Every structure is written in structure tokens, then in C-alpha cells.
Amino acid sequence: MPIKPENYRRVRNHIFKLLGRVCVMCGSIENLEFDHIIPNGYARHDKSSERVWEWIESYDKGNLQILCKDCNRQKSDKI
């Protein structure tokens, strides 16, 4: 069952709040993204409902952090 857009935003914002709303590498509060500390090997989910459940699972496992767009790209370049 698809997740409603407003619920997608609520879950995303709640996880950002739980993780502190700040890039863990540089301290930026702009252009923030979720990052898997250890890549999970899943392909990028196109459906927002699948993405939300994957974020929740990763958060529960301690495998989710917040990075700004620039730091996330730097990390991706090193893997």
C-alpha cells in the first residue's frame, strides 16, 4: 500500500529530528541527506513507501546518519 505524501514527509522529518538535523562530518544544516554508514546493497527505491520502510529499518539497526550533499558525495567517491 502506498504511503501518503504527507506521511512520507512526517516520517522523513521525524527521522531527521531523531538524528539531529546536522551533517555529522562538517556540521552543516543545509542540503541534508540520509546516508547509510555501511552501504546496504539495496538499489535506490523509486517508491516512497519502500524508501520509508528502508529508512526505518536502517535507523533501527544504527546504520543511518545525516550528511550534507557535499559530504555524502565525498564519502561516495571513496567507496
Task: Quick: pLDDT tens for 12-29.
Answer: 999 999 999 999 999 999
Of 56, 50, 9, which is closest to residue 36 (Cα–Cα)?
56
Predicted TM-score (pTM) of the model is 0.81
Residue 12 backbone zone (phi > 0: left; psi -120 to 50: alpha; other: beta): alpha
| Rounded average pLDDT over 2-9 | 83
Residue 23 CB neighbour total at 10 angstroms:
22
Looking at every residue in the chain, the average pLDDT score rounds to 87
Confidence grade of residue 1 (pLDDT, cut at 50, 70, 90): low
| Residue bearing cell 527505491 | 45
Question: Which residues form the domain of 71?
Answer: 5-78
Task: Quick: pLDDT tens for 16-62.
Answer: 999 999 999 999 999 999 999 998 766 665 677 678 888 889 999 99
Total number of domains constituting the chain: 1
